[in-house]
């Protein structure tokens, strides 16, 4: 089993990355920081004679890591009550791969959310719903979600214990990834 953590924050030493790293302690994994990548917006070329896709940025490299993983942990800060633009653009770009016949079927996806303004009630349902439906559409298995309340860098690292939903998700991953 190969596990990949995707940090959807725009800042270094993010709470999103810290949340993922704490979730995955003891579980071998690789980490990808979207803030370090150059990623262009999705361009829908279906009604043109252009091929679907954009080779001028880092998408192919990022997607190669995604493709190699069985279990993917998406971790996002809440931006305006939704996922970060960085993560949304990466997910939008999956359409390029899908259009070229790449199968997502069977991959296992987890979702971590970090926000400052009551994210459990104000953001988690929206983000979870869109990721769950995308999993269904692409025939990936949604493994679960966990949410942390945090704002300043270091807030998640300082939490004495992981939130209960993260502990539950960690248990599932520990049992199923080794
Ligand atoms: C552009 C922007 C928009 C934000 N919008 C929200 C929001 O709508 N709801 C919320 O709970 N927190 C919001 N926040 C706060 C972040 O979610 C919070 O600081 C989080 O810990 C950042 O995680 P990170 O360190 O992984 O980037 C926003 C932060 C930024 C920079």
Residue pLDDT, tens place only, 124-172: 999 999 999 999 999 999 999 999 999 999 999 999 999 999 999 999 9
Residue pLDDT, tens place only, 2-20: 999 999 999 999 999 999 9
pLDDT recorded at residue 1: 80
Q: What is the DSSP letter of 110?
A: E
User: Strand 30-33 relative to strand 71-77: parallel, antiparallel, unpaired?
Assistant: unpaired
15, 23, 77, best to mutate for ligand 1 pocket (most atoms within 8 Å of CB): 77
Task: Please name the residue whose Cα sits nearest to atom 4 of ligand 1.
Answer: 79
Query: Under a CB-based contact definition with an 8 Å cutoff, are residues 153 and 14 in contact?
Result: yes
* Protein fold of 3-41+55-177: Rossmann fold (3.40.50)
Residue pLDDT, tens place only, 73-101: 999 999 999 999 999 999 999 999 999 99
In degrees, rounded to 5, the angle at the alpha carbon of residue 149 between the alpha carbons of residues 176 and 72 is 30
The domain limits of the chain are: 3-41+55-177
pLDDT recorded at residue 177: 84
Which residues touch 70 (CB under 8 Å, ≥6 apart)?
A: 1, 2, 3, 106, 107, 108, 177
Task: Please name the residue whose Cα sits nearest to atom 7 of ligand 1.
Answer: 80
The torsion defined by the Cα of 52, 54, 55 and 57, in degrees rounded to 10, comes to -160
* Residue carrying structure tokens 């791969």: 97
Task: Please name the residue whose Cα sits nearest to atom 3 of ligand 1.
Answer: 79
Q: Which pLDDT band holds residue 178 (cuts at 50, 70, 90)?
A: low
């Amino acid at each position: 089993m190969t596990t990949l953590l995707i940090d959807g924050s725009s800042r270094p030493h993010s709470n999103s990355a810290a949340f993922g790293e704490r979730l995955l302690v003891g579980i071998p994994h690789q980490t990808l920081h979207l803030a370090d990548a150059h990623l262009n917006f999705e361009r829908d070329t279906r009604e043109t004679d252009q091929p679907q896709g954009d080779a001028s940025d880092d998408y192919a490299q990022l997607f190669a890591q995604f493709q190699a993983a069985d279990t993917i942990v998406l971790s996002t800060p809440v931006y305006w009550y939704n996922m970060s633009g960085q993560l949304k653009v990466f997910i939008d770009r999956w359409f390029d791969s899908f259009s070229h016949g790449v199968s997502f079927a069977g991959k296992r996806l987890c979702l971590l959310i970090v926000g400052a303004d009551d994210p459990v009630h104000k953001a988690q349902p929206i983000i979870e719903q869109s990721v769950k439906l995308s999993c269904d559409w692409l025939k990936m298995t949604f493994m679960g979600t966990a949410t942390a309340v945090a704002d300043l860098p270091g807030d998640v690292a300082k939490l004495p214990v992981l939130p209960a939903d993260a502990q539950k998700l960690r248990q599932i991953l520990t049992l199923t990834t080794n």
